[in-house]
Amino acid sequence: MEILLIIALPLLGAGLPLLTERFGRNICAISAALGPALSLILILQYIPALLQHQMFFLHQPWVPQLGLDFSLRLDGLGMIFALMILVIGLLVILYARYYISNKDSLGRLYALLQLFMMAMLGIVLADNLLLLVVFWELTSLMSFLLIGYWSHSTEARKGARMALAITGAGGLSLLAGALILGQIVGSYNLDMILNSSALIQSHGLYPVVLILILIGAFTKSAQFPFYFWLPHAMAAPTPASAYLHSATMVKAGVFLLARLYPALSGSDLWFYLVTFTGLTTLVFGAYNALFKHDLKGLLAYSTISHLGLITMLFGFSSDLATIAALFHIINHATFKASLFMAAGIIDHETGTRDMRRIFGLARFMPVTATVAMVSASAMAGVPLLNGFLSKEMFFSETLKLDQLGNFSYIFPLLATFAGIFAVAYSYRFIHDVFFNGEPNKDLPIYPPHEAPLYMILPMAVLGLLCLALGTMPNLLVSPLLHAAAYAVLGTDIPRYHLAIWHGFNLPLLMSFVALGGGLLLYYQRKGLFAFYERGYRVDQKVVFEKRIQRLVRLAQRCTDAVENGSLQRSVAVIITATLVMAAIEFWPLGNILGEIPLTPIDGISVIMASIMIVAAVVTVSSHHNRYAALLALSAVGLVVSLAFVRFSAPDLALTQISVEVVTIILLMLALFFLPQLTPYESSWRRAIRDMVLAGGAGIAVGLFTLAILTRPYDTGLADFFIANSVSGGGGTNVVNVILVDFRGFDTFGEITVLAIAGLGVFLVLQGLELSVPRTDRHGRQWTRDPYPIIITVLSRMFFPLALMVSVFIFLRGHNQPGGGFIAGLITAIALILQYICSGTDWVRQRLPVDYGRMSVVGILVAVFTGMGSWLFGYPFLTTTFTHLHLPLVGDIELASAMVFDIGVYVTVVGATLLMLSQLGNLAQTIDPQAETDPDFTSEESR
């Protein structure tokens, strides 16, 4: 349980500084230090046992479904990292107390630092791989918040976003790798994973796992090519940079390499991936660091380079190299944190971090200068300091490599090359800043002062640590290192000796070459800087910006290309996709035809089909002239009705033709208010696209029809209706019996919908004021005489005839083609003809019917007919029929369904006329008389 406290204390303590902020900075700082200090004490208690290679575990289920347990382990590896995190964390808290100005909230920084500490401790103490990933992402998040701490600076916001985007994405990759690893091993428990090395490495997915996990580690530890977020993260307040971006968070990546070392290392793939990534990063970072003018920029690249060194050591997969890597992690954390603090002090005291502006500070801040010199020397690898020891080990390890055969010398060579640059940039840090002439008077703060004692103290502690570790490694660090190595390597730790003096050997020579070469390089810097400026400059910002810009531009281009809001395009895409699907599904086309043979082609069918095709093509091609298109369209409708006649479906033919007439009239009335011509908007490219799509869709639908028509279909339903039409519904016209009897309920629903649609159109048109065109597009008046006498007279003669036909069709409907619906449409057409030929007012005076009410009455008739059957104890809409013998007329069949059909009839007439007369009404204003008609205006205002 105490292990949990190690993590929990900083979390609990995170709230404290926010609460105590108002009591002053000292109390705030002390309260912030409380949690980490207690954690440190806790962990110190474990050290004796840990040095004896004991391990401590805590197991607490969290989300068992995911395999995510809250399992912690405290072993040697976790211990050195936890110590580093807590010790440097406490020093940073002290440092930040003086660093952060009064303008910014100290409490917030402390809270974030502690939350980060919690997350980081979580990573190093996690015993469950998924838990590790969770904490991993949390460190990215906290780093995001810390980089963005100075929220007013654009630089900070951009840097923060970039850092989180890169490390967060790396985290996702790590998550995927962890999941696959867990699948292979069957558990996310680290113990299980670390003991399954053989299983993992022989598994086919090992390369996938390795690459995914390495991407996670490399993004976090700023390895090439993911390094670029780190220099940008330097926008963070310096305490955060010192803590996160040198000592701890960036070490999470190499920690992961160490943690999974037993499970993943040893393969060739591991060697090549890890070693070469590390090598590239080492050289690249060292080279670039020298040319950075910003103090923190220099340190950032140097951090990248050192992380590359550590990564490379892990890549070597030898036991000694691993120990060297662990040792260098500790050393780097001490000297780099110290140097960051120095950079912060310089920034704090001079107001700038630009090395081209600050010189000769040694005279003004001697203590800082001294400590910085110690730390920088450690970074350079000067003997007697800790950096020298681990670098020496690194050099000797590079000499042992033989994987590349004769080319193996490339490792020591490049390592020395990087060493030379490391010495040069370390020397530059000291020489440029503290010596090199007198400070400029134009510094933002002049003259600079020595920083307050307690600000120097943390830096000095770390500097001293560098010295102490460098001179007394066996006393101070050997046991810890041994415990950590035990955790990584297991029992057989090779014999090694942390000594300052190994005698004259090749590694020592390399060290001296680096030292000498570095100094020489630095003194030749003028030419070199010029070369750097002139030549290929790997300016991370420009490169990244370019990369981002390119991506953004590409995204923008895509966005612009796709986002034009065009409806046609959306439809085109849908149709295209469907056609593609159809093509996939139906390829090859050969088996489209089913087993039913095709009927022979006869002349009439061919003529009708060709008329239909021609009419359809004319409709589309003439659509700019709306009336012409409408005329062509009506031809299609008429041929369809004829086709129904030809294929013995008189009911359908009757319905189709009456619907066709009503629809065309409706469309003509509507088109009347629109411009006669639609503008030509589409380019010829789009026209071709549309043509191809339309053709394709047409052919596809044709093929389906062919496919379906040539397959046998289940005639069960049809047989049932034919067999039961007379006995059950009392009619020989099966279609009508179905409509009013078998499926009467459906018809009932349909007429309701029709009535509602009529009311809807009526309401939408009510109160609408449209400008009524008086002339056609050529400026000719539409008509001089709206109601020509010949048509008027003829139409009046037609009216009674039409009504009679409709009654006839209605009555015969039950047994022969016809019925309420068709009859209703015929009556409606007859009435519309009157409207057209004699005008709205004329009809209205003679036929004062409220069509809205009429359609409702129709529905009510249907309802009551249906309810009538309840009186006799039958369900809704049960029909009965009887035969009545009337003199003169003969045998008449009376079915209750017929009353229902009357309802249908009335509704159809009412709804149709409701729509059409209202549309006609709008057009009526063309008649000058109508405008003055008092009756009409009152109607309108009602």
Q: Does 901 bind another protein (CB under 8 A)?
A: no
Cα–Cα distance between 88 and 458 in angstroms, integer? 8
Cα–Cα distance between 159 and 538 in angstroms, integer? 18
Cα–Cα distance between 805 and 843 in angstroms, integer? 21
Q: Does 697 bind another protein (CB under 8 A)?
A: no
CB 172, min distance to another protein, A: 5
* Residue from 403, 570, 678, 929 in contact with another protein (CB under 8 A): 570
Alpha carbon of 872 to those of 264, 864, 868: distances in Å? 85, 13, 7
- Six-digit token pair at 711? 């397959």
Q: Does 175 bind another protein (CB under 8 A)?
A: yes
Cα–Cα distance between 828 and 909 in angstroms, integer? 5
**Which of these ranges, 46-54, 140-148, 657-665, 934-942, lies near another protein under the rule CB under 8 A?**
140-148
* Residue from 144, 218, 224, 411 in contact with another protein (CB under 8 A): 144
Q: Does 164 bind another protein (CB under 8 A)?
A: yes
* Residue from 11, 18, 208, 636 in contact with another protein (CB under 8 A): 208
The answer to whether the beta carbons of residues 232 and 544 sit under 8 Å apart is yes
The answer to whether the beta carbons of residues 840 and 890 sit under 8 Å apart is no
Q: Report CA Rg, the chain.
A: 45
CB 577, min distance to another protein, A: 6
| Cβ proximity to another protein, 208 vs 399, nearer residue | 208
Q: Does 551 bind another protein (CB under 8 A)?
A: yes
| Cβ proximity to another protein, 436 vs 710, nearer residue | 710
Bond preceding residue 447 cis, omega within 30 of 0: yes
Q: Where are the alpha helices (DSSP H) in 535-673?
A: 540-562, 567-586, 603-621, 626-646, 650-672
- Six-digit token pair at 144? 């995001």
* Residue from 19, 49, 66, 404 in contact with another protein (CB under 8 A): 66
Q: Does 567 bind another protein (CB under 8 A)?
A: yes
Q: Does 134 bind another protein (CB under 8 A)?
A: yes
**Which of these ranges, 483-491, 560-568, 646-654, 836-844, lies near another protein under the rule CB under 8 A?**
560-568
| Cβ proximity to another protein, 180 vs 378, nearer residue | 180
CB 250, min distance to another protein, A: 19
Q: Does 552 bind another protein (CB under 8 A)?
A: yes
Strand 890-895 relative to strand 56-58, pairing: unpaired
Instruction: Give the number of residues in contact with another protein, rule: CB under 8 A.
Output: 59
**Which of these ranges, 228-236, 402-410, 548-556, 649-657, lies near another protein under the rule CB under 8 A?**
548-556
Q: How far apart are the first and last CA of the chain?
A: 83
* Residue from 107, 148, 387, 518 in contact with another protein (CB under 8 A): 148
Q: Does 180 bind another protein (CB under 8 A)?
A: yes
Instruction: Count Cα neighbours of 595 within 13 Å in the Cβ-side half-sphere.
Output: 2
Q: Does 752 bind another protein (CB under 8 A)?
A: no
The answer to whether the beta carbons of residues 185 and 173 sit under 8 Å apart is no
Cα–Cα distance between 921 and 669 in angstroms, integer? 10
Q: Does 43 bind another protein (CB under 8 A)?
A: no
Bond preceding residue 817 cis, omega within 30 of 0: no
Which helix (H) or strand (E) is 931 found in, with range?
A: helix 928-932
| Cβ proximity to another protein, 137 vs 651, nearer residue | 137
| Cβ proximity to another protein, 269 vs 707, nearer residue | 707
Bond preceding residue 225 cis, omega within 30 of 0: yes
Instruction: Pick out residues in 578-607 that bind another protein (CB under 8 A).
Output: 578, 581-582, 584-586
Q: Does 549 bind another protein (CB under 8 A)?
A: no
Q: For residues 266-292, b (16+ Cβ closer than 10 Å) or e, as one string? A: ebeebbebbbebbbbbbbbbbbbbbbb
Q: Does 211 bind another protein (CB under 8 A)?
A: no
Q: Does 18 bind another protein (CB under 8 A)?
A: no
**Which of these ranges, 90-98, 333-341, 555-563, 882-890, lies near another protein under the rule CB under 8 A?**
555-563
Q: Does 569 bind another protein (CB under 8 A)?
A: yes
- SS3 state of residue 62: strand
Report the interface residues with another protein, using CB under 8 A: 62-66, 133-134, 137-138, 141, 144, 148, 151-152, 154, 157, 160-161, 164-165, 168-169, 172-173, 175-176, 179-180, 183, 208, 551-552, 555-556, 558-559, 562-563, 565-567, 569-571, 573-574, 577-578, 581-582, 584-586, 704, 707-708, 711, 713-714
